[in-house]
Amino acid sequence: MPTPNSLDAFWMPFTPNRAFKADPRMVVRAEGMHYYAPDGRAILDATAGLWCVAAGHCRTRIVEAIRAAAGELDYATNFNLGSPSAFEFANRLGEILPDQLDRIFFTNSGSESADTALKIALAYQKARGKPGKYRLIGRERGYHGTNFGGISVGGIVRNRMTYGPMVAGVDHLPHTLDIARNAFSRGEPPHGVEFGDALERLVQLHDASTIAAVIVEPVAGSTGVIVPPKGYLKRLRELCTKHDILLIYDEVITGFGRLGAPFAADYFGVKPDILTMAKAITNAAVPMGAVACSREIYETILANSETPIELFHGYTTSGHPLACAAGLATLDVYRDERLFERAAELAPYWEDAMHSLRDAPHVIDIRNLGLIGGIELEPRAGAPMQRGLEVFRACFDAGVLIRVTGDILAFSPPLIIEKAQIDLIAETVRTALKQVA
């Protein structure tokens, strides 16, 4: 029998379980910019938890809102019943979302948001009398969570290869990473707008009459920080409009100030028809996600329903009272502390710090946008991913938490980060790179 404190019972997500449990790295509390190890050592969080703690850890305003909500209304279903906080939060989100994307469906995660967005797209096409538009187009190296819809339109091989044929009728655009032409670009790479033209080839292959929606991350995160080339998202928008195809942005990572604007749609000035959210929506204090769609999509589905329930979809904890309380308090913190604007102000300093590592050992590319950074390392011969993991461990042991995906180091600090902490991250990574072979 395992002991009460055994590590065996918890099957950890996206983790080499055997290796971790043989040499665990644990945190026991968090505050502001830091996690704290069991021995009290502070660990500077250069990843905002997992792209999600945008306002910093254990913010009093958010904690108190959750505590108050738990003592007043611990749970209420939103199936044929309502609680005020869900309606209030939906309205508040609508105020900061791009114009007309103000019809909100609540979920519990980014994975659920992706699947919900795909289902809304299909329901809309059927409601407008075009049920033949059923194909969903994702992108190579795309990440849209780990549910079946998300891994079907996603394009990360290891997330897909074990699970069979998945959702039918899916195709993929090429990814936009082009190190040969764009290595060490600052911000949006100059080359690659033509990657968007691949949608024309898919239209020629499948015909637009069969394609319901295209889903992309404005900035691809989990695959290793891939910033879109200049003009690429605008080109996709033009082609989707031309061919009567919905455009879905997965903004689970880019939403809520990560690029220095409320959403990537605002930053790039290119609006989708549907937009997914999660992570920073509640500062990760309570799990939550959401999907925003245009009024046209919402009203078309409602107006053409053949049954009283217009959309047969939802989750037991959609719009959970504690999550809504956390979300409302989080929006207050973002507004009152001007964290979106702060991210925009810090972005040039962050960019310089990231690119200061250009001459560090093993570095073959650096990518950045807003308060996002990616450093691609040359894989070790015969041992891909090992160099990245060793840098991750060295940084953690030196007091800085980074994220690693393969041999790519990824960074997404809380928006409250100070310039001295940015410098510390860069210095720690440089030292770690010198230590690994």
pLDDT digits (tens, 9 = 90+) for 144-189: 999 999 999 999 999 999 999 999 999 999 999 999 999 999 999 9
Across the chain, what does the average pLDDT equal? 97
Whether 1 has a pLDDT exceeding 70, the answer reads no
The mean pLDDT of 13-20, rounded to a whole number, is 94
Q: Check residue 240 and report its DSSP letter.
A: H
Run of H or E including 432: helix 419-435
Rounded CA-CA distance 354/183 in Å is 13
Other residues' Cβ atoms within 10 Å of the Cβ of residue 229: 23
Confidence label for 3 from pLDDT (cuts 50, 70 and 90): low
Do residues 278 and 109 make contact, with C-beta atoms less than 8 angstroms apart? yes
Name the percent of the chain lying above pLDDT 70: 99
Look at residue 267 and give its three-state secondary structure.
helix
Residue 333's pLDDT is 98
Do residues 197 and 234 make contact, with C-beta atoms less than 8 angstroms apart? no
Q: What CATH code would you report for 63-336?
A: 3.40.640.10
Residue 324's pLDDT is 98
The mean pLDDT of 82-98, rounded to a whole number, is 97
Do residues 162 and 146 make contact, with C-beta atoms less than 8 angstroms apart? no
Residue-wise pLDDT tens digits, 420-436:
999 999 999 999 999 99
Q: Check residue 315 and report its DSSP letter.
A: -
Residue 22's pLDDT is 95
The mean pLDDT of 205-221, rounded to a whole number, is 98
| Domains of the chain, residue spans | 17-55+338-435, 63-336
Residue 5's pLDDT is 73
Whether 363 has a pLDDT exceeding 90, the answer reads yes
Residue-wise pLDDT tens digits, 39-69:
999 999 999 999 999 999 999 999 999 999 9
Confidence label for 2 from pLDDT (cuts 50, 70 and 90): low
Look at residue 212 and give its three-state secondary structure.
strand
Residue 17's pLDDT is 95
For CA atoms 408, 29, 51, 109, give the dihedral sign.
positive
Do residues 179 and 226 make contact, with C-beta atoms less than 8 angstroms apart? no
Overall pTM surpassing 0.85 (yes/no): yes
Closest listed residue to residue 256, CA positions, set 280, 273, 286, 220: 280
Q: Considering the domain delimited by 17-55+338-435, tell me its CATH architecture.
A: Alpha-Beta Complex (3.90)
Rounded CA-CA distance 346/156 in Å is 31
Whether 33 has a pLDDT exceeding 60, the answer reads yes
